[in-house]
Chains A and B, each alone.
Chain A
Amino acid sequence: MYEEIKEKYNFSSWGKKRKRPGREISILLKNFIPWEEDCLGWKRASKELLTEADDRRIIRTVWDNPEDKNSRVLIDVYETFSRTHAQECLIQILANNQLELLPKGPDDLGEVSFVHPEGIPPAAFWLRGNLCLSVCSFGKKMVDVLSWTYKFDSRMMEKPKVERFILTLTPQSEQVNVEQEVGISFSLPWRLGEDGYYKFFAKGGELFFKEKELCFRAQKKGEAVIEAFALEAGREPYGGRLTLKVE
Chain B
Amino acid sequence: MVKVKEVHFNYDQNSATADALNIRKNQTIGTLIQAPEWREGQPSQPAAYAVNALGNIVRIKAKFSNGPEKGTLKIRAIDAYMPPPEPSGCLGWLVYWLLLILQAIFGNVLGNVKEKDVAFNAQGNSGLEEFELVNHRLKQSGVGIHTTTWKWQFKQGNQWVDFGTTDHKVYLVLDIPAGPWQQQVMSGGMENTQLPWVDALEVACAWALGATTKGMAARKITEGLNANSLLSYNPITFFGSSPYFLSSFLGQLKAGNPFQLNCRDCADAVTTLSNLLGCDLWEGVMQSLNTRKILGIGGNAAVELDWKNWSWGWHEVAWLHAIGQNEHVYDGCLQLDMDNNYNDLVHIAHLPIKMKFGQNDPNDYRYRLVESNPCTLENVPRRRQVA
Instruction: Report A's interface with B, CB cutoff 8 A.
Output: 45-46, 48, 50-52, 60, 62, 64, 69-70, 72, 74, 92, 95-101, 116, 120-121, 123, 134, 136-140
Contact = CB atoms under 8 A, between A and B. Distances in A.
User: Interface SS of chain B: helix, strand, loop or mixed?
Assistant: mixed
Interface stretch (B94-102, B103-111, B235-243, B344-352): B235-243
A72 B256 CA distance: 13
A99 B387 contact: no
Given A100-B312, A134-B236, A140-B232, 10 more contacts: A48-B247, A50-B387, A52-B242, A52-B243, A74-B238, A96-B236, A99-B311, A116-B235, A123-B236, A140-B258
A100 B311 contact: yes
A138 B234 contact: yes
A48 B247 CA distance: 10
Contacts of A92: 241
A136 B262 CA distance: 13
B259 interface: yes
A20 B298 CA distance: 43
B367 to A, nearest CB: 20
Closest 3 pairs between A and B when the two form their complex, measured CB to CB = A98-B235, A96-B237, A100-B311
B234 A136 contact: yes
B93 interface: no
B313 A99 contact: yes
A97 B258 contact: no
Contacts, number: 85
A146 to B, nearest CB: 16
A139 B258 contact: yes
Contact of B263 (A51, A60, A98, A139): A98
Contacts of B255: 45-46
A50 B386 CA distance: 12
Nearest to B373: A100
Contacts of A64: 257
B114 interface: no
Contacts of B160: none
B257 A139 contact: yes
A50 B248 contact: yes
27 contacts: A45-B257, A50-B245, A50-B248, A50-B387, A62-B252, A62-B259, A72-B257, A74-B238, A74-B259, A95-B313, A96-B236, A98-B262, A98-B263, A98-B264, A98-B312, A98-B313, A98-B314, A99-B310, A100-B288, A100-B311, A100-B312, A101-B311, A116-B235, A123-B234, A123-B236, A136-B260, A138-B238
B374 interface: no
Contacts of A120: 234-235
Contacts of B127: none
Contact of B234 (A45, A100, A121): A121
Nearest to B262: A98
A99 B259 contact: no
Interface in B110-124: none
Given A48-B248, A52-B242, A121-B260, A97 B235 contact: yes
Contact of B237 (A69, A97, A116, A140): A97
A69 B258 contact: yes
A62 B262 CA distance: 17
A62 to B, nearest CB: 8
Contacts of B262: 98
Nearest to A8: B313
B259 A96 contact: no
Given A72-B259, A98-B314, A123-B234, A48 B251 contact: yes
